[in-house]
């Protein structure tokens, strides 16, 4: 597979798999307004993934956006593993969201300067949505970190779980490096600096400690996922898989 296609897929797959996790939370939020807000984020992310898949299909001159979402196997998805993790509570959901929003915000802020016209336009559109997402999740981190003792403890547990996947976001794949050389992709070590500044700022207000960096053990960008990924896909792809001839 070409590096460029893989780089596109890394972006789109992060959005799609994260939106899957958010959308399954629909009707489970702590209160109604939060349910609507959560769904808005999920919708933005599906839209993001779809526009990348559509562009890829059109650049290749074959297939559709749905083929990318519904007809690839696990090892053909290149999302980071943090997006696929399940979540026992709202703290886990929101900590993951904060880390991903933070990553997206800085990633797209840099991607605006990409030499690739499609990506720079995509980044420009996404940055508006992601700015809002990040503001929302940042505030929730502070409410939970600096609220009740129970919430604080839940935050510590959630951060611990998600933190071991944090470094993967900034670990470059071959596609990342190749695209960086071609002035298409941002420099992930720069993105990491910016992300860490924001984590420190928000955790300071939330009265939470920033953990030590944990070396990356995950390789989602190589198509090697957690055990959860197969379950996500078998659910998401159930209908097109079972009725391959059908058009929906």
Partner 1 sequence: MTVQAVIEQEKLAQFEAKIENEIKIEPNDWMPEDYRKHLIRQISQHAHSEVIGMQPEGNWITRAPSLRSKKILLAKIQDEGGHGLYLYAAAETLGVSREQFISWLHEGKAKYASVFNYPTLNWADIGAIGWLVDGAAITNQVSLQRTSYGPYSRAMVRICKEESFHQRQGYEIMWRMMEGTKDQQRMAQDALNRWWWPSLMMFGPHDTDSPRSEKAIQWKIKRESNDRLREKFINKTIPQAELIGLKVPDPELRLNEDGTYQHGDINWDEFYAVINGNGPCNKQRLQHHIKAHQDGAWVRETAAIHQQKMNNHGKH
Partner 2 sequence: MESTNDQQGELYEVFIQSKPGQSFKHAGSVHAFDKNMALQNARDTYTRRNEGTGIWVVPSKEITALSLEEQAYFVEPSTDKIYRHPTFYNLPEGVKNM
What gap in Å lies between CA 173 and CA 219, rounded to an integer? 9
Phi, psi of 73 (to 5 degrees): -95, 170
DSSP 79-124: --GGGG---SSHHHHHHHHHHHHHHHHHHHHHHTT-SSHHHHHHHH
Nearer to partner 2, 40 or 187 (CB): 40
Distance CA 51, CA 215 (A): 33
Binding span for partner 2 by CB under 8 A among 25-33, 95-103, 114-122, 154-162:
25-33
User: Which one among 113, 135, 207, 231 touches partner 2, defined by CB under 8 A?
Assistant: 135
Q: Does 146 bind partner 2 (CB under 8 A)?
A: no
Minimum CB distance to partner 1 smaller for 33 or for 227: 33
HSE-up of 119 (CA within 13 Å, CB side)? Answer: 23
- The Cα-based distances of 239 to 53, 95, 247 in angstroms read 19, 31, 10
248 lines the binding site for partner 2 (CB under 8 A): no
* The one among 5, 29, 72, 167 contacting partner 1 by CB under 8 A: 29
Q: Which two tokens stand for residue 82?
A: 């943090």
Interface segment toward partner 1; rule CB under 8 A; list 3-11, 16-24, 114-122, 185-193: 16-24
Taking the C-alpha atoms of residue 242 and residue 215, their distance in angstroms, rounded to an integer, is 40
Residue 27 touching partner 2 (CB under 8 A): no
Interacting span for partner 2 (CB under 8 A) from 8-16, 31-39, 165-173, 195-203: 31-39
Tell the residue number behind the tokens 């071959």, with chain if given.
174
Binding segment for partner 1 (CB under 8 A), chosen from 104-112, 175-183, 195-203, 237-245, is: 237-245
Restricted to residues 82-101, the positions that interact with partner 1 (CB under 8 A) are 89-90
Binding residues for partner 2, rule: CB under 8 A, are 31-34, 36-37, 40, 132, 135-136, 139, 143
């Amino acid at each position: 597979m070409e590096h460029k296609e893989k780089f596109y897929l890394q972006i789109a797959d992060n959005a799609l798999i994260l939106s899957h996790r958010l959308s399954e939370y629909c009707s489970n939020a702590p209160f109604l307004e939060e349910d609507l807000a959560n769904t808005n984020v999920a919708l933005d992310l599906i839209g993001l993934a779809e526009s990348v898949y559509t562009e890829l299909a059109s650049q290749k001159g074959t297939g559709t956006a749905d083929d990318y979402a519904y007809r690839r196997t696990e090892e053909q998805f290149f999302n980071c593993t943090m997006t696929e993790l399940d979540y026992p509570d709202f703290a886990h959901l929101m900590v993951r969201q904060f880390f991903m929003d933070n990553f997206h915000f800085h990633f797209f802020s840099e991607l605006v300067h990409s030499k690739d016209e499609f990506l720079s336009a995509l980044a420009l559109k996404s940055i508006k949505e992601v700015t809002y997402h990040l503001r929302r999740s940042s505030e929730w981190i502070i409410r939970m970190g600096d609220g009740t003792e129970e919430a604080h403890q839940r935050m510590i547990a959630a951060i611990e779980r998600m933190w071991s996947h944090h470094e993967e976001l900034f670990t470059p794949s071959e596609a990342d490096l190749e695209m960086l050389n071609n002035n298409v992709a941002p420099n992930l070590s720069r993105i990491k600096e910016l992300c860490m500044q924001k984590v420190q700022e928000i955790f300071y207000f939330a009265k939470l400690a920033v953990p030590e960096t944990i070396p990356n053990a995950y390789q989602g960008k190589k198509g090697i996922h957690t055990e959860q990924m197969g379950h996500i896909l078998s659910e998401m792809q159930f209908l097109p898989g079972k009725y391959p001839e059908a058009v929906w």
